[in-house]
């Protein structure tokens, strides 16, 4: 009998990964999902099957079943979906059993270590735990050569989430927290809730915040790193042994990411006396062992060079120091503020960080034509991504197949996206193939809920970069505490300037504050005043909106008129202040032309092998506002 094709998928991906209150939850969900998918892959291999797509990461799978040498995996690298060729005696049910056995093993380890003794007085907690642990995963598989089989199988929806009563989890919406209390509407009931959770919080330390009440799934995600090394299942389906390994529980927080480059510069340039004062003040507020900033390359290198220990980035931000819940000892908080002031820096750390999400474009069609070559290209690509993210001071959450998910400092996100894209193109070119990849970058204020930004990143990638801009594109959003501040997107072909550099970043470098005096003949500069009313200026210059039945927008000012009028505004913005040789209108037009190019929406069109671009007649201010945001690192001045 000929071999058959086995298709497998494990979910819910967004329900497990993206529901995260901390970056650690985000990483944990991706890590565990990858580990469980790896258990499924290894069980296929144990039944003499062969993983066809994507290429199985042998080093990763080795850590699952035999603990090979080298560094253990620290982030997700196995996709939740794969296909394999299998023989006549292959048993698909064993794959599903393997995933559930692996999940129960890690969950049971957490229960025994953290909850078993305490919950002896709360029998309902074990009932809730078992219901949630046993009923969470949606596993679908199909046998057959048609790649659409699995999607049709998933539509059956035979896996239904259990009903959840009572108080809901602080992290995963809709899931009941573990105390079993139905509704803490009175002070007495709230005290019962606290009586359940307070001893657990004291045991778990800073892993649980004072206001957090978690469901079983969220609790496993939060606590498994402490015990993952001890996970072992001797008799997995297919007759192999499953292992965990040592993982570091410290993960860079959003504050760590926001402060990384600022802190690295302070450590490199600060005097020993000032740095000692800074660290002593920070240690009086927060335990340095709780932070993950030292996992970011720029900070790691800076501290290693100075022979210093790490501080908790929470102590670097004014809004944290002013929060009496976070810093009840305000005298100690004031000492930290004085230590920061002693650095004599003009700027505090930026309160913004970035999420980078990337995904290959229409890979399914190419996979059907050149399956093995595509797998080799993706294997090469994903092998290089961790080093790229690390070089750009980021923390990789996931790199598997054509998907990349990473957290980065504001200053490094766009450059990292560009380098990852080039790596993707090179990997396919090495196989004599062409494929493209789109990217979404979300710049978020540290006060914004992480779950909200994570959920939005997929919409930004799918709806804006891919659908609105025609794929092979980059899309950016900025989120401030009040909500979405701006959105900008551009096909990759128009993102770079003639020197191959990111045009939007080059424009940001030209940005200067009003109080900067010019003493030489610098001419590539911008001022805040020029950007202050740029949205109003663009609205006046833009063509009138089309009426129903009109083929095109009515044009009042053509491109040359708009350029000239904005050049006048540019010269009136005070850019000539202190300049010995005043700029002329043609100089101003040359300077702002690249800015306007980044403010006109462009759509990529691909018909067969032909690619073309259409450029809107409208000017959108968000491109210019992104320049100002990047130049000021999100800090209003």
Of the pLDDT bands very low, low, confident and very high (cuts 50, 70, 90), residue 12 is very high
> Are 621 and 531 within 8 A, CB to CB?
no
Q: What is the greatest pairwise CA distance in the chain?
A: 86
Question: Token match 């957490």: residue?
Answer: 110
Which pLDDT score, from 0 to 100, does residue 543 have? 76
**Top-confidence residue, 550 or 272:** 272
Q: Which residues contact 273 (CB under 8 A, 6 or more apart)?
A: none
Using the predicted structure, report yes or no on whether residue 436 has a pLDDT greater than 80.
yes
Mean local confidence (pLDDT), 89-118: 97
Using the predicted structure, report yes or no on whether residue 551 has a pLDDT greater than 80.
no
Q: Tell me the per-residue pLDDT of 589-610, one tens digit each, with 9 for 90 and over.
A: 888 899 999 999 999 999 888 9
**Closest C-alpha to 405, from 466, 472, 455:** 455
Of the pLDDT bands very low, low, confident and very high (cuts 50, 70, 90), residue 481 is very high
Which pLDDT score, from 0 to 100, does residue 318 have? 94
Q: Which residues contact 361 (CB under 8 A, 6 or more apart)?
A: 435, 436, 437, 438, 466, 471, 472
Mean local confidence (pLDDT), 513-518: 45
Other beta carbons less than 10 A from residue 319's beta carbon: 12
Mean local confidence (pLDDT), 23-44: 96
**C-alpha distance from residue 146 to each of 87, 115, 149, 628 (Å):** 17, 46, 6, 50
Which pLDDT score, from 0 to 100, does residue 474 have? 98
Mean local confidence (pLDDT), 11-25: 91
Question: What is d(CA 41, CA 36) in angstroms, rounded to the nearest whole number?
Answer: 9
Cα pseudo-dihedral 54, 392, 594, 613, rounded to 10: 0
Q: Which domains does the chain have, with CATH numbers?
A: 4-243 (3.30.70.2220), 254-341 (no CATH), 496-637 (no CATH)
Using the predicted structure, report yes or no on whether residue 530 has a pLDDT greater than 70.
yes
* CA 452 to chain centroid: 12
**Top-confidence residue, 388 or 540:** 388
Of the pLDDT bands very low, low, confident and very high (cuts 50, 70, 90), residue 536 is confident
Using the predicted structure, report yes or no on whether residue 505 has a pLDDT greater than 90.
yes
**Top-confidence residue, 543 or 152:** 543
Question: Token match 């901390």: residue?
Answer: 22
Query: Per this entry, what is the length of the chain?
Result: 637
Q: Which residues contact 520 (CB under 8 A, 6 or more apart)?
A: none
β-strand partners of 86: 4
- The C-alpha angle with vertex 300 and arms to 295 and 306, in degrees rounded to 5, equals 155
Q: Among 44-58, 258-272, 514-528, where is mean pLDDT lowest?
A: 514-528
> Are 414 and 504 within 8 A, CB to CB?
yes
- Structure tokens, 79: 């996709």
Question: What is d(CA 358, CA 354) in angstroms, rounded to the nearest whole number?
Answer: 13
Of the pLDDT bands very low, low, confident and very high (cuts 50, 70, 90), residue 565 is confident
DSSP label at residue 468 = I
Of the pLDDT bands very low, low, confident and very high (cuts 50, 70, 90), residue 347 is confident
Q: Among 158-167, 402-411, 533-542, where is mean pLDDT lowest?
A: 158-167
Using the predicted structure, report yes or no on whether residue 202 has a pLDDT greater than 50.
yes
Q: Tell me the per-residue pLDDT of 213-240, one tens digit each, with 9 for 90 and over.
A: 999 999 999 999 999 999 999 999 999 9
């Amino acid at each position: 009998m000929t071999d058959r094709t086995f298709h497998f998928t494990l979910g819910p991906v967004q329900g497990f990964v993206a529901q995260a209150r901390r970056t650690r939850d985000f990483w944990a969900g991706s890590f565990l999902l990858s580990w469980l998918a790896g258990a499924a892959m290894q069980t296929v291999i144990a039944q003499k099957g062969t993983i066809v797509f994507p290429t199985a990461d042998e080093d990763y799978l080795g850590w699952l079943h035999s603990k090979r040498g080298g560094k253990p995996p620290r982030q997700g690298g196995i996709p939740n979906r794969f296909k394999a060729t299998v023989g006549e005696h292959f048993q698909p049910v064993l794959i599903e059993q393997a995933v559930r056995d692996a999940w129960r093993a890690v969950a049971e380890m957490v229960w025994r270590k953290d909850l078993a003794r305490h919950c002896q007085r709360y029998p309902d907690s074990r009932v809730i735990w078992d219901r949630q642990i046993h009923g969470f995963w949606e596993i679908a598989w199909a046998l057959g050569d048609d790649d659409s089989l699995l999607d049709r199988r998933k539509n059956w929806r035979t896996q239904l989430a259990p009903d959840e009563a009572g108080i809901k989890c602080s992290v995963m919406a809709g899931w009941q927290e573990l105390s079993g209390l139905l509704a803490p509407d009175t002070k007495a009931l709230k005290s019962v809730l606290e009586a359940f959770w307070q001893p657990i919080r004291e045991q778990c330390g800073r892993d649980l915040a004072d206001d957090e009440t978690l469901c079983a799934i969220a609790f496993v995600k939060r606590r498994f790193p402490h015990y993952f090394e001890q996970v072992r299942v001797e008799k997995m389906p297919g007759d192999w042994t499953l292992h965990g390994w040592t993982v570091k529980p410290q993960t860079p927080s959003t504050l760590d990411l926001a402060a990384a480059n600022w802190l690295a510069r302070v450590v490199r340039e600060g005097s020993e006396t000032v740095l000692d004062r800074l660290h002593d003040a920070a240690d009086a507020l927060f335990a340095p062992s709780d932070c993950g900033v030292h996992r970011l390359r720029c900070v790691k290198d800076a501290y290693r060079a100075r022979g210093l220990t790490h501080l908790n980035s929470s102590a670097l931000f004014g809004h944290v120091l002013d929060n009496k819940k976070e810093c009840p000892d305000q005298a100690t908080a004031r000492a930290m503020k004085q230590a920061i002031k002693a650095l004599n820096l003009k700027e505090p750390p930026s309160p913004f960080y970035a999420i980078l999400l990337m995904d290959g474009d229409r890979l399914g069609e190419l996979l059907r034509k050149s399956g093995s070559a595509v797998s080799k290209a993706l294997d090469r690509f994903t092998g290089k991504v961790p080093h790229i993210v690390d070089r750009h001071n980021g923390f990789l959450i996931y790199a598997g197949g054509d998907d990349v998910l990473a957290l980065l400092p504001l200053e490094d996100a766009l450059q990292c996206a560009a380098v990852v894209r080039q790596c993707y193109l090179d990997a396919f070119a090495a196989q004599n193939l062409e494929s493209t990849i789109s990217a979404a970058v979300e710049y978020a204020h540290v006060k914004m809920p992480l779950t909200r930004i994570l959920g939005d990143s997929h919409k930004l990638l799918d709806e804006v970069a891919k659908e609105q801009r025609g794929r092979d594109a980059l899309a950016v959003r900025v989120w401030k505490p009040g909500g979405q501040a701006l959105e900008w997107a551009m096909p990759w072909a128009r993102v770079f300037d003639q020197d191959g550099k990111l045009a939007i970043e080059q424009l940001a470098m030209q940005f200067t504050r009003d109080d900067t005096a010019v003493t030489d003949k610098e001419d590539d500069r911008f001022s805040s005043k020029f950007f202050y009313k740029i949205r109003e200026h663009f609205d006046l210059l833009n063509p009138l909106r089309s009426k129903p039945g009109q083929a095109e927008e009515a044009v009042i000012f053509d491109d040359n008129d708009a350029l000239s009028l904005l050049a006048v505004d540019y010269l009136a913005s005070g850019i000539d202040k202190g300049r010995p040789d005043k700029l002329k209108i043609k100089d101003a037009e040359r300077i702002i032309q690249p800015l306007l190019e980044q403010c006109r929406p462009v759509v990529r069109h691909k018909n067969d092998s032909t690619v073309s671009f259409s450029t809107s007649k409208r000017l959108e201010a968000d491109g210019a506002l992104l320049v100002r945001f990047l130049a000021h690192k999100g800090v209003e001045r």
